[in-house]
Structure 1
Amino acid sequence: MDRLRCIEVFIEVAQGRSFSAAAQRLGISKGNVTKHVAWLEETLGAQLLMRTTKSVSLTDAGLTLLENGRDLLERFEETEAAIEGSVTSTKGALRVGCPPSFGAFHLVPLLTAFSALHPDVQVVLYLDDGRSDLVSEGLDLSLRIASSLRDTSYVAQKLAVVPQILVASDRYLANRGHPETPQDLVHHDCLVHTLKAPTNIWSFTGPEGNVSVRVNGTIRANFGEALRYAAILGHGIAMHPTYMVADDIQQGRLRQVLAAYQPTALDVFAVFPSRRHLPTRVRAFIDFLKVRFAGMVEWQQEPDALK
């Protein structure tokens, strides 16, 4: 039986000193009231009520339960109301996981805009590589940027699609030459993201259709900003989302490579533990991101439009 329900039934009996009156107030049968009290006595291993044909009185154990039971039920109701409020109202802590470079340079402006709309939400940003366990880390959701998600234990909602582009500095291209086809990349120093291309394979769509090539280089990293900076320093060819290198191309720090071949695009996902009982603040944040991502034209631009 439900322990709290049994305590509630007992308190009704104890306060009115009557099984019949308690049954009437609770809207259940007298026999059901008796069962709840009997189960509670058996579970606690103590007699709570002294019953005669004419009266009901409390034992010492019953008096103790009556005094503490009221507080217990009140605390439960307060906790229940607090939990319901955290789920149904747009307030409270919102814990968001996000890749470091994307979080620091692209998500933070969105977080400030969201906070302006929802001042009662306190955002806690966790910068990680996207592989954190949402439940053990206490995250409400995590933003992950990938061509596909390997972990199917969570619920994922696509927020945006962003194209990628190959880039290199003028200095590198002057020293090593311009590749004409993806196959030429095997002769170049390629800066590989270990999470996005763990097997060193880059895939493209070009004039001849889909093509993949295994590349190699002297620097690999799990942090896109490190690879971007290495490319700016002239160390090799890197593959990045367009939003990450658009300014570098416009400022002349990087140049597009293999313009006729489009690398596999990346999806931006919001990943969360479950659809059930999703707090309102989390739903509001996901809806906010959908609208804002859709309005970021530079994220959706094809590489040619960045020149």
Structure 2
Amino acid sequence: MNTVECIEVFVEVAKGLSFTKAAERLGTSRSVVTKKIAWLEKTFETQLLQRNTKRVSLTESGEILLRNADSVPRAISELKDLVRSSVQRPTGRIRVGSPPSFGAVHLAPAIQAFLETYPEVQVTLQLDDGRSDLIAENMDLSVRIAPRLRDTSQIAYKIAVVPQVLVATKEYLERLGRPIHPVDLKRHNCLLHSLKAPTGSWHFTDDKGELHTVQTSGSFNSNLGESLLHLAQRHYGISMHPRYMVEGLIADGRLKVVLPDYKCQGLEIYAIVQSKRYLPYKVRLFVDHLRTHFQDTNWVSPSVGT
């Protein structure tokens, strides 16, 4: 008999604690279910189910098998995938979520390079705030950008670290004064990112390596950096962004760097996947591609002034 099929039959019996109901769900007879359970018990050399004329219950061995049964067909599928990948090119669709600015400006070209290498793969890019549920949204991978990854239960691959910068318009700084020290930010309208700085704390390092943490406040916060940046450009306050997001605005003078002598806390960019153990081959290739692609990225242009 097929071991995987017998385990699947066992799972149906164990979940409903009924041979008859399992047979109905599987579209087979009770006798076939009974034979497969008996074969499984003989193969494992242990009793998996206690049964009499009135009830069915799991033995300790049966409970262990039920807890781990789902991993068997997935492990076999992964093994087939790995074997096939040695002789086949990856195919199929990869669904990716990403914050808008990074996704549009930096991730899209990285995807293009990947697709040119693997033309039988297709990629769907969904722009969001980085909090999408991978399973609910049916996504293979989500890009998260944060000072640090708070949920340690997530399967995460770090693909890059990007610098941040404080910015404001010349008009705002002339009206309210240019901060000289991080503590000066306390008297300014700081436009806060509700995901990256949920408590309002901004962190800086000076040229001696000393850490400065400031509890800031402001009249506006958002889960998307684009809205913060838009208000900063309208002379409404000071905002903090990844350097790649404001590079052009600094270069053409529309924004000025605030506290240029202090280094803002950088952001780590992660690729979040559902499972490390059962990562599809094409997704594994894509993650490796992203890590290589962004390894030598120059996020800061030396020609940009303050």
Q: Is structure 2 residue 229 aligned with structure 1 residue 228?
A: yes
Q: Which has the larger radius of gyration?
A: 1
1:173-184 alignment runs, 5 A limit: 173-184=173-184
Structure 1 174/280 Cα, relative in aligned 2: closer, same or farther at 3 Å? same
Contact kept in structure 2, 1:259 and 1:304, CA below 8 Å: no
Q: Give per-residue Cα distances to partners, 1:107-126, cap 9 Å, x unaligned.
A: 12222222222221111112
Partner of 1:250: 251
Contact kept in structure 2, 1:3 and 1:40, CA below 8 Å: no
TM-score, length-scaled by structure 2: 0.71
3-state SS, counterpart of residue 174 of structure 2: helix
Contact kept in structure 2, 1:164 and 1:266, CA below 8 Å: yes
Query: How many pairs are equivalent?
Result: 240
Q: Which amino acid is the alignment partner of residue 195 of structure 1?
A: L
Q: Give per-residue Cα distances to partners, 1:150-204, cap 9 Å, x unaligned.
A: 1222211111111111111111111111011111101111111110000111111
Partner of 1:25: none
Q: Which amino acid is the alignment partner of residue 224 of structure 2?
A: F
Q: Is structure 2 residue 81 aligned with structure 1 residue 84?
A: yes
Q: Which amino acid is the alignment partner of residue 306 of structure 1?
A: V
Distance 2:141 2:239 in 1: 29
Partner of 2:290: 289
Partner of 2:133: 133
Contact kept in structure 1, 2:154 and 2:272, CA below 8 Å: yes
Contact kept in structure 1, 2:81 and 2:280, CA below 8 Å: no
Q: Give per-residue Cα distances to partners, 1:227-250, cap 9 Å, x unaligned.
A: 112111111111111111111111
Distance 2:284 2:273 in 1: 11
Distance 1:132 1:214 in 2: 28
Q: Is structure 2 residue 113 aligned with structure 1 residue 97?
A: no
Q: Is structure 2 residue 38 aligned with structure 1 residue 40?
A: no
Contact kept in structure 2, 1:205 and 1:211, CA below 8 Å: yes
Q: Is structure 2 residue 202 aligned with structure 1 residue 210?
A: no
Instruction: Note the C-alpha offset of 1:207.
Output: 4.4
Instruction: Note the C-alpha offset of 1:136.
Output: 2.6
Structure 1 41/243 Cα, relative in aligned 2: closer, same or farther at 3 Å? closer
Structure with greater proportional helix content: 1
Partner of 1:66: none
Distance 1:214 1:305 in 2: 31
Structure 1 111/87 Cα, relative in aligned 2: closer, same or farther at 3 Å? farther
TM-score, length-scaled by structure 1: 0.71
Q: What is the root-mean-square deviation in Å for CA atoms of aligned residues?
A: 2.9
Contact kept in structure 2, 1:87 and 1:278, CA below 8 Å: no
Identical pairs, percent:
45
Contact kept in structure 1, 2:141 and 2:273, CA below 8 Å: yes
Instruction: Note the C-alpha offset of 1:104.
Output: 2.2
Q: Which amino acid is the alignment partner of residue 116 of structure 2?
A: A
Q: Give per-residue Cα distances to partners, 1:19-68, cap 9 Å, x unaligned.
A: xxxxxxxxxxxxxxxxxxx9737459xxxxxxxxxxxxxxxxxxxxxxxx
User: What are the ranges of 5 or more consecutive residues in structure 1 without an aligned counterpart?
Assistant: 7-37, 45-75
Q: Which amino acid is the alignment partner of residue 116 of structure 1?
A: E
Partner of 1:277: 278
Q: Give per-residue Cα distances to partners, 1:222-278, cap 9 Å, x unaligned.
A: 111111121111111111111111111111111111011111111111111222132
Distance 1:217 1:202 in 2: 12
Q: Is structure 2 residue 167 aligned with structure 1 residue 167?
A: yes
Q: Is structure 2 residue 298 aligned with structure 1 residue 306?
A: no
Contact kept in structure 2, 1:87 and 1:280, CA below 8 Å: no
User: What are the ranges of 5 or more consecutive residues in structure 2 without an aligned counterpart?
Assistant: 7-29, 37-72
Partner of 1:119: 119
Structure 1 177/43 Cα, relative in aligned 2: closer, same or farther at 3 Å? same
